[in-house]
Amino acid sequence: MAQLGDALRKQIVRVKLDGALSPKQLGVLAGTIAKTRHAALVADGKLPEANIRFVDGAQGAAETTVKIAAGKPGIILYKGSSLAQAAAYALEAARQASQRNSKSGTYAASWRIFVNGQEADEAHVPPNAQEAIVVNITPYARRLEQGTGRGAGRAPYLITEIVARATKSRFSGLVVLRKFVSLSGASSNRFPVPYHLKRPPGGEMLYPSVVISLRAS
């Protein structure tokens, strides 16, 4: 990171001497340099691809919002993270959202993590995992995701959409998507997985999920 700091200092000193940029413009310049340099270091394998970004202490803020003032330079910090961390975060976020939106404790307790196609112990997601899926295995999960809550005018649950957005914002170095997926099975479960729809069109149910994966190299 020393190289990044040197580059920023040289650029900022130059524009300060010229007196051509406002503090806000300096922040845009510094943030752009930081973002470009960080991307280059990630591409070279010198920094982890998955990361959590802090700008002046604000998590997930854009680099270009950094505040540059006399005697008080802004701080852009990248903390390395992993797919396992992102999956753990998404799992807990989904459970909390379920508890707020559902009166059923079963639904909130039915979130699972699948890694590379197989159910994984949530406390021991393999560090070399390429893909993790956070999914609710209840047969009514899809209906809750797509339908509305009880009572007129209540919003849909959309828990996987909310969690996907939050996870993507927090772990910027990963690909995070909301998808409906097929499952091959799950342990410690009172419901059959995969569940077969009893109404038309029938067939195996597709489960709402948050899919987290590494970016293609």
* pLDDT (tens digit per residue) in 3-29: 455 555 555 555 444 556 788 888 898
In whole angstroms, what separates CA 123 from the centre of its chain?
18
148 and 76 in a single domain? The answer is no
102 and 201 in a single domain? The answer is yes
Domain span at residue 165 reads 83-214
Whether 55 and 75 have beta carbons less than 8 Å apart is answered as: yes
Last residue of a domain, one of 80, 98, 127: 80
pLDDT tens digits, 47-98:
777 777 889 988 788 999 999 877 777 899 888 778 888 999 999 999 998 8
Whether 90 and 100 have beta carbons less than 8 Å apart is answered as: no
59 and 110 in a single domain? The answer is no
Report pLDDT for 2.
40
Neighbouring C-beta atoms of residue 6, cutoff 10 Å? 10
Q: Has residue 114 got a pLDDT over 60? A: yes
- Kindly write down the DSSP assignment for every residue of 126-154, as one continuous string: -TT-SEEEEEE-STTHHHHHHSB-SSTTP
Report pLDDT for 87.
92
The Cα 57–Cα 146 span in angstroms is 36
110 and 160 in a single domain? The answer is yes
Last residue of a domain, one of 25, 54, 80: 80
pTM: 0.66
44 and 146 in a single domain? The answer is no
Angle subtended at Cα 9 by Cα 8 and Cα 13, rounded to the nearest 5 degrees? 120
What total number of domains does the chain contain?
A: 2
Whether 58 and 170 have beta carbons less than 8 Å apart is answered as: no
Is it true that the peptide bond before 194 is cis, omega within 30 degrees of 0? yes
13 and 118 in a single domain? The answer is no
Class of residue 50 by CB neighbours under 10 A (exposed 0-12, middle 13-18, buried 19+): buried
Percent of the chain residues past pLDDT 70, beyond the cut: 82
150 and 194 in a single domain? The answer is yes
105 and 196 in a single domain? The answer is yes
Q: Calculate mean pLDDT across residues 37-42.
A: 86
110 and 17 in a single domain? The answer is no
What is the C-alpha radius of gyration for the chain, rounded to an integer number of angstroms?
22
74 and 93 in a single domain? The answer is no
166 and 115 in a single domain? The answer is yes
107 and 190 in a single domain? The answer is yes
Class of residue 91 by CB neighbours under 10 A (exposed 0-12, middle 13-18, buried 19+): buried
